[in-house]
Structure 1
Amino acid sequence: MKKYYMLLICLVIYQFSFTQIVINEVDCDTPSTDDKEFIELKSATPNFPLDGYVLVLFNGNGDDSYFALDLDGYQTDPNGLFLIGSTTVEPFPQLLISINTIQNGADAVAIYLGDDSDFPEETPATQTNLIDALLYDTSDSDDTGLMAALGVTVQTNEGSSGNTNSVQLLQDGSYVSTTPTPRAVNDGVGIAVTAISMYTSQTIYNEGDTFDIVFSTEENVTENLTFSFTLNNYGFNATDFTGDTTVTIPNGSNTVITTITIINDTLDEGDEEPLVRFSSLDWPYIANNNFLKLRAVDDDYTMANFGTPVNQFDPILGNVTSTQPAGYYDSLDGLQDDALRQAVQDIIAEEGVVRAQTYTDVIDILREADQNPEHSNEVWLLYTEQGRSKLDNHTGGSSTGLWNREHTYPQSRGTFKAREGDDIADGKEIYWNTTADSLRHGYSDAHALRAADGPENSSRNNKNYGDPLLGGYNGPENTAGSFYGDVARSVFYMAVRYNGLELVNGYPVDEDANDGTLGDLATLLEWHRNDPPDDYEMNRNNVVYTWQFNRNPFIDEPDLVEYIWGDQVAPDITWDQGLTIAESNELQVQVYPNPATDKVYINGLLNKATVEVFSVEGRKLENYTITGNSVLNINLSSGMYLFKITSEDKATIKKIVIQ
C-alpha cells in the first residue's frame, strides 16, 4: 500500500510540473517584412526546465500542424520567461526560428507534453497531452473548428494586417492585444533586465582591414561589467583575426569598444562570415541583438582556365573534356525518333545508378557547378550574367542582392515540388533511388537548377521561353543572352529525363493545368543552335555527374537535339555516335549561329584552314583561308548553304541557313 501511495504522490508531482508552463505572449504579425514575430512562454517558477515539452503551430486552414519545435534542453529565465523568435527579434531570443515562421491567423500556438516527432506536418489539432493553447487572428473570423479541437473558447484578435501589437496573457488568464514586451513580464513585476547591443560601422571587410565593435547599454552600468564574445563561424576562427574578445564596460559608463584586425593570409579560403556573438553574459544582462554577421572578403581567389558563358561568340573550348564513362552513349547508335528518345532516358534515368539529391544539397552543388570561372569565391548568375559571392545565398526574407536556385523548367509547369527531407543537406553519399517516373525529383535535379539573381528569378516566374509579346521570357535587357543555349539544353534534358514533361511549340497559357508542358520549342531549338555548348557547360555537366551519376546528353552530344526535336527527325535518319577526334577523319568544329545573317563563327580550329561555301546545288560560291577560331563576314542571299571546312587533312561539311 505504501508503494502505491508513494507512486501516486510522484505522479501528482510529475503532472503538476507539466502544468507550470503557459503561452505568455505571441506576436504573429509585424509591419513590412514580418521579421520581429515571436512567441514567449512563461513558467510559474524561475529557471524552469522545458524538457518533455514541444511547441506546435497550427494552421487554421485545415486545422492541422505546420511547425513543431522540441524544447528539450532549454529552460526559462529567472523571470520564468522563454523567448522564441528569429535573429532579428530584440531582445535576442533564447531559441531561434526562421524569419516568417509564425503565420498571421486565424491560427493557434500550443504546448504539448511530447516530442516534435509526434507532430509531423499536417497533424490534426488534438487535446491529447495538451498543456496550453492560444488561438489568435489578424481581424479574421473565429475558427470554431480549431477552437473545438483544442478545447479553447476564445480567439484573440492581434489587430489588422501589419499591426504593431502582440497578444499577451493577463493575470486573470485572459489575453489582450497591446504593445509587445518580449523578455519582460506582462504585469511589470519581476527582475529588471539590462540589454546589451553590439554594432559595427559596416558589415563587409577585406582581409587586412581593421574595424571596431561597439558594445553599449541603454543606461550606465553601476559596476564594472566584463563579458566575452567570439567571432568563430565555420572556418573563421582565432587564426583569422587579432584583437581582444573579452571586454569591460567600466562603472559609470555604457560603452566599450574593441578593435579587430582580419589577418591577410595567402590562402584561398573563400569569403568567410565572422559571427559576433556573446559567449558569456551574467543575469540580469541579456543580449539585445546577437549573431552579428560580418563578411571577410578573401583576396586569394583563383581563376579557371575557361571563360564565362558571355563568351558565346568566342567560347573557350577544349580545356574541359567530358568525364562520361567509356561507351556511355553506345546504346543510342542506329536508333531514331521515339526509340532514340527512350534509349536516352534509359541512360539518364537508370534505376539503381542515377541518384536524386535533396533540394538543400543543390546549394552545395551549384556553388561548385556554377562557380564563376573568373572568381572562385563567386557563383555565376544565369540571366543577369554576373558573379555573386557564394555566401550571398537567399535563405528567407527579401532576395535583393542574393542568389537562389532557379528551376529552368519552372516548378509549377513541371508539377514537381518539395518533399520531406528536401530541407536537409546530407551530402553526396546519401541519396534517393530514382526512376523516369520520379517526377518529384525534378524539384532538386541539378542539371535543371541554376544560380540566379533572386529578384530576376521572381520576374522570370514560370513564363514560357521566347517572345515577351506572347508571354514568353528571353532575359533581362542589355545582356548578351549567353544563357540561351544553356537553358535550352537544360529543359531538353528535363523533357527526356522525366515522364510527364513535354516541350511544345507555342505558348501554353493555362498555367494551372499542371499538364507538364512548356514552350516555346521553336525558340529553344533556335537558342540551342545559335549558342552551342562551351567549356563552362561541360564543366558543370562534369560536376553534377559526380553527385547524380547522370549527365546532360545534349551537352556531351549536342546534335542529339536535332534527332529528337529538330531537323533530323525522319523515318530514314538514325543516330550514330560520332567517333572521337582521335578516331575520326572528320574535322571537329562548331559553326554558328544557325540560322545566320551577315556573320558566321567557326570554333574548334587550332591551325590554318580553308572554308569553301557551296550552294545546295553544289556550285562553289566563296573561298576563305583562316587560322584558328575565326569569324567570317559573309554576303549571301537568304537560303541554305554548305560550308566545307578543311584543316590538317581532315574535313567537315556543315549546313547553314542564311536569313
Structure 2
Amino acid sequence: MKNTFTLVVTLIVAQFSFGQLVINELDCDTSTQESNIDTQEFIELKSNTSNFSLDGYVLVFFNGSENGMNSSYLTIDLDGYVTDVNGLFLIGSDQVSPFPQLLIPVNTIQNGADAVALYQGNWDDFPDGTLATIHNLVDVLMYDTDDDDDIDMINIFNKHPNFTSLQQISEGSKDNTNSIQLNNNGTYSVKTPTPRQLNDGSGVQLNGINISIAQNQYTEGESFNITFTTEQNVTSTLSFNILLHNGTFNDSDFTGNTSLTIPTGQNNTSTTITLDDDVEDEGDEVAKIRFDNLPAEYLKLNNNIEIRVVDNDFFVAPFGTPLNPTFGTVNSTQPTTYYNNLDGLSGANLRQALQNIIANPAVVRAQTYADVIGILKEADQNPANSNQVWLVYLEEGRAKLDFQTTSNNSGKWNREHTFPRSLGGFGDIEADEIANGKDIFWATKADSLRHANSDAHALRAADGPENSSRSNQHYGQYIGPTGNQGSFYGDVARSVLYLDIRYNGLQVVNGYPSITGQMGDLETLLNWHRNDPPDDYEMNRNNVVYTWQFNRNPFIDQPDLVEYIWGNRVGQTWSQPLSIKKNKLLNVQLYPNPASGTVFIKGLKSSAHVEVFSIESRKIKTFKSKNNKPLELDMPNGIYLIKITSEGKQIVKKLIVSSSK
C-alpha cells in the first residue's frame, strides 16, 4: 500500500528508536529551484549521548527497484567520525546547509522505494550489489516518494527479531520539500527538514556562521575579500583559522590573513586574499575556503567554498583553432613506413590492409574510458589557451577544470562519442572507470568492439548540453548548433570513417539506419571530409592520440584514402604520396570577409575552379576565376564554404556573406 501524508502523519513502528544510534532524519528528494537535481538531500543519525564515536558502524543504501533487486548501491564507512554536542551527525552534499559533517555527491540518495540501514561492520562487508540483510543490523528506514510498497524489502527486514510491523514510509510526492523525521516515541513524522537540529526543537542551540565572497572566479594578481558572519552576536571572542589549499593550489599561491577573530558582541569579520601573479603556467586551479578549527558551539552554515583561480600564463600554440585553421605547421609523427603495406592495393584488399595497421593486436593499445579524460585534455587542448579544451560542436574553448562530474552538465564539458554508443552497440566495460595512465592498457584487435567505447580517435571534448542535444542523431540529421561555422565537419567525418575500418561490426552507410552497428549519412560525411580538410589542429590531435593508443587515424595523415574506400576512386590502386610533408594547399586569400556580395582571390598564379557550398555542404554555385577577377556571389546572408582548386592544389575557405541591403 501507499502511505499518504498531509502535514504530519505518524506511524507506530517498533524498532531501536531508543538505542545508542538511530537514523534520525532522511530527505531523499529535495532539489533547488533552478534545477531538478536533488542537491539538498541528506540523512542524519542521532546518538543518545553527545560526541558519540561512530567507529564500527556503516550506513548502507539499498535499491528497491525491479532492476536494483533490493541490493546495495552505496556504503558509507563511519569510522573516525563522532556525533556533535546534540548527538547529531549529518551526511549530505556541500549544497546542504548547515554544512554536513560527512560529504557525499549531490543526487546520490535514490528516491525509493528504497531503504537505508545502519549496521555494525566494515565498509568491505557491503560491496555494491549486496542483498539487503538483517545480519548485524542496528536500524533501518524504508522509504519512498509515493511509490508502491516494496514487499520483498519489507519482508527481509521484518525477519529481524527486534523489529515488528515495519512499514515503508512516504516522504511525499516527487519533488517534495519534506523530510522523514523520527519522533521521541519511535514514530515518524513528515514535515519541513531540520538538519543539524533535534527534531523536537530541544538541545543546544548552535550559532551558525556563514562564508561569503563577491564572486567565484579571479585571475592571478587579483585580490578579493572573504567575509564571515554569525547568526547571532558572539558572547565571547571567537577565534578560528581558515584553509584555502586544494590540490595544486597551496600556500605559495596567495597571501593574506587566515587567522581570524570576531570580537565579543559582534557578528562578522573579513580578510583580504591576494593571488600570486607568478610566471609559471600551472593551469587554472581551484581554491577551497573552509574552516579549520571552528569551536564546537558554532555551526558551519556553508564550507568548502570554491574559487576558480585563472592562470594568466597560459600557452598559445603555433597553430590555429578549427575556426581559424592553419595548415602545414604540424607534421605527422607517423613512422616513415607506417602506410607502406597499402601501396598497390585496391578495394577490399586496401581496406583490409588498412585495418591490419590500425587494429594490429601486437601493437595497438586500448585505454579505459576514464583515461580518455586525460587524453582529451591533451589532444583537444585549445590552441589559443592551454588551460582550456576546444569544444567540438560549440566551436569555443572551455576550462579543463570544467569537466562534468555530476548529473548537472550546465557549463561543463564531457566526452562525446562521434559514433553514438547506442548506434554502435558498445558501452562501458569492467575497469572503464579507472584512469591507469599510458603504461597500463588492454590488448585489442579488430573484433574488440567493446574498446570502441574508449577509442580517443572517436571521442571529442563537447559542451554537456550540446552533447545531449546531439543525442544519438546521425550526421546529416545533426549539423551542429544554430549559427555554427562547420569547423568540425571534416573532423567528425574522419572520426567515424576511422571506426568503420578499425572495428568489425561498425559501418558508415547512406541514410539514417536503425540497425545496430550502422551510422549515417555516408554521403554527408564524404562531403564534409572533402570540404573541411585536415588542419594543424587535427594533425596535432592525431599525434597526441598516437602516443596513447599506438595507432593513427589514416584519413588525417592520408585524406585521399577516403576516396579509394568510399568515394570517387573506389576500385583504383592506391599509391602513397612521395612525401607526407608536401604542402598541397593553395596559398591564397579570399577577401573581403565578411563580404556583401563581391569577393576577390589574392595570390592566384593561374586560373582557378571555384565551388560554393552551403554550410551543410550542398553545392550552390561554380565559378572560373583568373587574374584576381571579382566573383559576383549574389547570395543571401549566411556562412558558406568556398573551395578553390588551381595548379593541382586546393583549399577550402569559410566566407560570411553579410549584406547591409
**TM class, shorter-chain normalised?**
0.7 to 0.9
Instruction: Tell me the distance in 2 between the aligned counterparts of 1:601 and 1:589.
Output: 18
Aligned to 1:7: none
Please tell me whether the aligned partners of residues 156 and 176 of structure 1 are also in contact (alpha carbons under 8 angstroms): no
Larger deviation: 108-117 or 255-264? 108-117
Aligned to 2:503: 498
Matched, 1:419 2:415: no
Aligned to 2:91: 84
Please tell me whether the aligned partners of residues 48 and 77 of structure 1 are also in contact (alpha carbons under 8 angstroms): yes
Corresponding residue to 1:166 among 174, 179, 183: 179
SS in 1 for 2:264: coil
Matched, 1:196 2:209: yes
Matched, 1:226 2:227: no
Please tell me whether the aligned partners of residues 581 and 588 of structure 1 are also in contact (alpha carbons under 8 angstroms): no
Matched letter for residue 91 of structure 2: I
Matched, 1:543 2:539: no
Structure 2 counterparts to residues 57-456 of structure 1, below 5 A: 57-61=61-65, 62-151=69-158, 153-311=166-324, 315-456=325-466
Gaps of 5+ in 2: 1-15, 589-596, 611-622, 634-642, 653-661
Q: How many residues align?
A: 593
Instruction: Tell me the distance in 2 between the aligned counterparts of 1:581 and 1:354.
Output: 22
Displacement of 1:187 in angstroms is: 3.1
Matched letter for residue 527 of structure 2: E
After the TM superposition, list the runs of 4 or more consecutive aligned residues in structure 1 that deviate by more than 6 angstroms: 598-603, 641-644, 653-656
| Cα deviations by residue, 1:602-640 (Å, 9 ceiling, x for unpaired) | 99xxx99556779xxxxxx979579xxxx99699xxxxx
Displacement of 1:496 in angstroms is: 2.2
Displacement of 1:398 in angstroms is: 3.1
Displacement of 1:644 in angstroms is: 6.6
| Cα deviations by residue, 1:521-560 (Å, 9 ceiling, x for unpaired) | 1111110111010000011111112222222121111122
Larger deviation: 387-396 or 457-466? 387-396
SS in 1 for 2:496: helix
1:437/1:53 CA distance change after superposition, 3 Å: farther
Please tell me whether the aligned partners of residues 591 and 602 of structure 1 are also in contact (alpha carbons under 8 angstroms): no
Please tell me whether the aligned partners of residues 584 and 649 of structure 2 are also in contact (alpha carbons under 8 angstroms): no
SS in 2 for 1:294: strand
Structure 2 counterparts to residues 534-613 of structure 1, below 5 A: 534-570=535-571, 573-580=572-579, 588-589=584-585, 610=606
Displacement of 1:82 in angstroms is: 2.0
Displacement of 1:349 in angstroms is: 2.6
Displacement of 1:506 in angstroms is: 0.6
Please tell me whether the aligned partners of residues 493 and 554 of structure 1 are also in contact (alpha carbons under 8 angstroms): yes
Corresponding residue to 1:460 among 466, 470, 483: 470
Displacement of 1:251 in angstroms is: 0.7
1:622/1:36 CA distance change after superposition, 3 Å: closer
Cα RMSD for the two superposed structures: 3.2
Displacement of 1:302 in angstroms is: 2.1
1:23/1:612 CA distance change after superposition, 3 Å: closer
1:543/1:115 CA distance change after superposition, 3 Å: farther
Please tell me whether the aligned partners of residues 243 and 292 of structure 2 are also in contact (alpha carbons under 8 angstroms): yes
Matched letter for residue 548 of structure 1: Q
Please tell me whether the aligned partners of residues 275 and 291 of structure 1 are also in contact (alpha carbons under 8 angstroms): yes
SS in 1 for 2:198: coil
Larger deviation: 112-121 or 376-385? 112-121
Matched letter for residue 356 of structure 2: D
Matched letter for residue 310 of structure 2: V
Aligned to 2:486: 481
Aligned to 2:591: none
Matched letter for residue 45 of structure 2: L
Please tell me whether the aligned partners of residues 39 and 83 of structure 1 are also in contact (alpha carbons under 8 angstroms): yes
Instruction: Tell me the distance in 1 between the aligned counterparts of 2:213 and 2:23.
Output: 35
Instruction: Tell me the distance in 2 between the aligned counterparts of 1:221 and 1:172.
Output: 35
Gaps of 5+ in 1: 1-15, 467-471, 593-597, 615-620, 636-640, 646-651
Aligned to 1:33: 37
SS in 2 for 1:490: helix
Displacement of 1:454 in angstroms is: 1.8
| Cα deviations by residue, 1:544-582 (Å, 9 ceiling, x for unpaired) | 122222221211111222222222222xx2323222257
SS in 2 for 1:227: strand
Please tell me whether the aligned partners of residues 585 and 650 of structure 2 are also in contact (alpha carbons under 8 angstroms): no
Instruction: Tell me the distance in 1 between the aligned counterparts of 2:600 and 2:450.
Output: 40
1:590/1:653 CA distance change after superposition, 3 Å: closer
Displacement of 1:590 in angstroms is: 6.8
Aligned to 2:23: 23
Please tell me whether the aligned partners of residues 241 and 293 of structure 2 are also in contact (alpha carbons under 8 angstroms): yes
1:241/1:284 CA distance change after superposition, 3 Å: same
Displacement of 1:92 in angstroms is: 1.2
Displacement of 1:352 in angstroms is: 4.6
> TM-score scaled to structure 1, two decimals?
0.83
Displacement of 1:591 in angstroms is: 11
Please tell me whether the aligned partners of residues 591 and 601 of structure 1 are also in contact (alpha carbons under 8 angstroms): no
1:93/1:424 CA distance change after superposition, 3 Å: farther
Instruction: Tell me the distance in 2 between the aligned counterparts of 1:235 and 1:22.
Output: 39
Matched letter for residue 171 of structure 1: N
1:206/1:495 CA distance change after superposition, 3 Å: same
Instruction: Tell me the distance in 1 between the aligned counterparts of 2:52 and 2:108.
Output: 25
Among all aligned residue pairs of Structure 1 and Structure 2, give the percentage whose two residues are the same amino acid: 57
Larger deviation: 323-332 or 254-263? 323-332
Aligned to 1:4: none
Displacement of 1:223 in angstroms is: 0.4
Matched, 1:43 2:47: yes
Instruction: Tell me the distance in 2 between the aligned counterparts of 1:422 and 1:46.
Output: 43
Please tell me whether the aligned partners of residues 320 and 535 of structure 1 are also in contact (alpha carbons under 8 angstroms): yes
Displacement of 1:415 in angstroms is: 2.4
1:205/1:547 CA distance change after superposition, 3 Å: same
